[in-house]
Amino acid sequence: MDDNIEDMTRIFFKLHICAVCGRYYTEIDNVGAHTCRYHPGKYDSFNDTYTCCSEKRRYGSTDYQRYMSFTPDKPQAYRSFSSGCTPCDCRSIYDNPLPYKDVDVKEYAPMLMFMKDVASRPGYNESKLRLERVKRPKDAQTIFS
C-alpha cells in the first residue's frame, strides 16, 4: 500500500459521530448514502419557519415538557424544529478530513472496492461520477447556492 491509499483508508474508516442524528458512522458507508436529514431552505425568523418546507417552530417546549424526563429515543420531540425535511449525509461533530461536499469518485477510486452498493446510493451521480452529500431541491434557494 502506498501512502496515499493509507491516508485515504484512514479518512474513510475514521469513526465519526453525527452532529444531527447522533449516530456513529464512517465515511465509507456514509458518502452519498443520505441517511440523515437537513433543511435546504433558509430560516425565516420573521415567520419562524423554514423556507423549504414551511415547518413551524414548536412552542410546546415550555412548561409541560420541562418536567418530563429526557427520552433518548425521541430527542426531536424536545427540539423546536425537526432536524430536516430532505435527505443528506451525516455530518461529523469532529474535524473531518473529508470535507462536507460532493466526493469525486475518481479521486478516491481505491476506496470504491470498500464501498457497498455505491451505484445504488441516492447521492450517486453517474454522469458526473460524484457522490453528492445532499439531495438538492430543484427549486428554491438553498444553503449551497
17 is an interface residue for Zn ion by CB under 5 A? no
Beta carbons within 8 Å of 44's beta carbon, 6+ residues apart: 50, 51
Question: What is the pairing mode between strands 124-125 and 130-131?
Answer: antiparallel
Q: How many CB atoms lie within 10 A of CB 102?
A: 17
Grid-cell match 475518481, residue found: 106
Q: Which of 11, 17, 53, 98 binds Zn ion (CB under 5 A)?
A: 53
Q: Give 33 or 52: the residue with its C-beta nearer to Zn ion.
A: 52
Q: Please give the sequence-ordered ranges of beta strands (E in DSSP) within the chain, or none if there are none.
A: 15-17, 24-26, 36-38, 43-44, 49-50, 86-88, 103-104, 124-125, 130-131
Scan residues 78-97 and list those touching Zn ion (CB under 5 A): 85, 90
Q: Which of 21, 77, 98, 118 binds Zn ion (CB under 5 A)?
A: 21
Q: Give 22 or 107: the residue with its C-beta nearer to Zn ion.
A: 22
Q: Give 18 or 115: the residue with its C-beta nearer to Zn ion.
A: 18
- HSE toward the beta carbon, residue 58, CA cutoff 13 A: 14
Scan residues 101-130 and list those touching Zn ion (CB under 5 A): none
Q: Give 36 or 105: the residue with its C-beta nearer to Zn ion.
A: 36
Report residue 116 as a C-alpha cell.
457497498
Q: Which of 8, 31, 33, 52 binds Zn ion (CB under 5 A)?
A: 52
Q: Which of 16, 34, 39, 133 binds Zn ion (CB under 5 A)?
A: 39
Please give the residue ranges that form the binding site for Zn ion (CB under 5 A). 18, 20-21, 36, 39, 50, 52-53, 85, 90
